[in-house]
Amino acid sequence: MTSFLIIIGKYLIGLLGIGLVVVIHEIGHLLAARACGIGVEVFSFGLGPKLCGVEYKGTDFRLSLLPFGGYCRLKGSDDLSQALIQNSKHFTHTEQGSLFSVHPAKRLLTYLAGPLLNLGFAILLYSLLASTPYKVLTTEPILATVNDYPTLFANADSPAYAQGLRTGDRVLSLNGRSISDWEMLESLLAEGTTAQRFAITRDGQGLEFLIRADLSSGKPRYGLSPAKKPVVGSVRPSTPEHNAGLKPGDTIAFANGEKITNDLDLLVALSEDTNLTDLTILSSGKEEHILFRPDLDEQGNGEWNFSIQTESRNVEVPPFSLKHGWDTSVKMARDTVTSLILLIQGKNTDVRQEFTGMARAALMIGDITTLGLESNMGSGLRALFYLLGVVSISLAIANLLPLPAFDGGQMLIACTEWVTGKRIRPRTYWILQLVGIFSVVCIFLFLGYVDMRHFLSIRR
């Protein structure tokens, strides 16, 4: 029951996040319509039956039953109905403020405003994220040589081991430069191609080694990996590990009979038996035994629901600038359009990888946000806002598609009228709307099918 509630909670986080992005989109239509003299009959926060509302300047602002998304109903439906009933070839006797009473340029601006506000929202989000101080994980500069773990690394040859370094060595400096963490060491090693002078400590003794990288692949390779202390950082609630008594702060001394000195030892030991996991831990100075059956992933491999403890450090950020948000948003928009073009051209057939429906998108947002919250509130909110920016850009691009029921389709109609000087016939407009609604239904069914295939593949 608790696991079910956790999944429901993740869906709610995702759906409310997506709903916020949709409401922002509709606010764009509302503001532009008002500015262009187009009446807005209803602006709804949420979908479904009306719960309550208030009328302001001719608009019924309402709160609907389902708090996911919203909609903005522009004035003009009566004009369309009357024109269809009278079988008129033109929109005549349109009421003041009707969508069909204004110049096509104003309709174009009204429909464009939704996607534009979504893009503006993403730019603002990413600008704020870029200038908001945050923490990143940091790992102690303790080494492991890959030849000690051939089952974990595809290339288990270690040039560093051959030249003197050993698993468990702590790096003090590189070429005389003090090393604060593994991330700094990794960055410096990637930059240089000449011999690197490591100053390390081993069993309390200071040593120095001159290590030359393997350059056969074109990039410097040392055959090194970070080695983390086997201290539990977090345990997901209502999981086999949690129910068996594993807690944050526990030190794992043995796993399935193997002595554990670092996280790589633990990975090797856990992979040896995915049916039953036997841990010996040190908890509050006492030795305890924990036994549980781990969860399995879609391939039938063991899936453990705890993490190894890591430290964090503050990251220096630049002052607030919309340019940071603009650059990130443009890159994401370009990647989204490229994926769409490749799919249309048949060059990318993995639809599940590139596109998701509402259900899977909501679960992904909720899941990633929850993972961040398990670390701290800041990480969770940062992950949520980042994903909302992705959704906002995707919604803007999707609505610009030239389908009649989408903003892009309405903009195409308005542009055609503006260029030709001829207004669209009511019956033609009505038929295009039906085609558009049918297209939207088909798209949602297709994305729902994609989501279902994905969920079923995971379950198998």
pLDDT at 356: 67
Burial (CB count <10 Å: 0-12, 13-18, 19+), residue 126:
buried
Query: What domains can be seen in the chain, in order of their start residue?
Result: 2-34+103-132+364-459 (no CATH), 138-226 (2.30.42.10), 232-299 (2.30.42.10)
Q: Provide the residue-wise pLDDT of the chain in tens; the chain has 460 residues.
A: 455 677 788 888 888 888 899 999 999 999 999 999 999 999 999 888 999 989 988 899 999 988 778 889 888 877 777 777 777 777 766 778 888 888 999 999 999 999 999 999 999 999 999 998 887 778 999 999 999 999 999 888 999 999 999 999 999 999 999 999 999 999 999 887 678 999 999 999 999 999 999 988 888 999 999 999 999 998 988 889 999 999 999 999 999 999 999 999 999 999 887 788 999 999 888 999 999 998 887 677 788 889 898 887 787 888 889 999 999 999 999 988 887 787 666 665 555 555 666 777 777 888 778 877 766 777 788 888 999 999 999 999 989 988 877 899 889 989 998 998 888 888 888 888 888 778 778 877 777 776 676 665 554 4
CB atoms within 10 A of CB 248: 12
How many other CB atoms sit within 10 Å of the CB of residue 160? 25
In what helix (H) or strand (E) does residue 278 lie, and over which residues does it extend? strand 277-283
Q: What are the tokens at 351?
A: 């639809």
How is residue 208 written in tokens? 């120095």
DSSP letters for 75-99: S-HHHHHHHHHTT-SS--SPPTT-T
DSSP 326: H
Q: What is the pTM of this model?
A: 0.71
* Phi, psi at 252, each rounded to 5°: -85, 115
* 3-class secondary-structure state, position 235: strand
Instruction: Please state, in angstroms and rounded to a whole number, the distance separating the CA atoms of residues 264 and 266.
Output: 5
Phi, psi of 452 (to 5 degrees): -65, -45
Q: Strand, helix or coil at 101?
A: coil
pLDDT tens digits, residue range 23-60? 999 999 999 999 999 999 999 998 889 999 899 888 99
Backbone φ/ψ region at 280: left (φ over 0), alpha (ψ -120 to 50), beta: beta
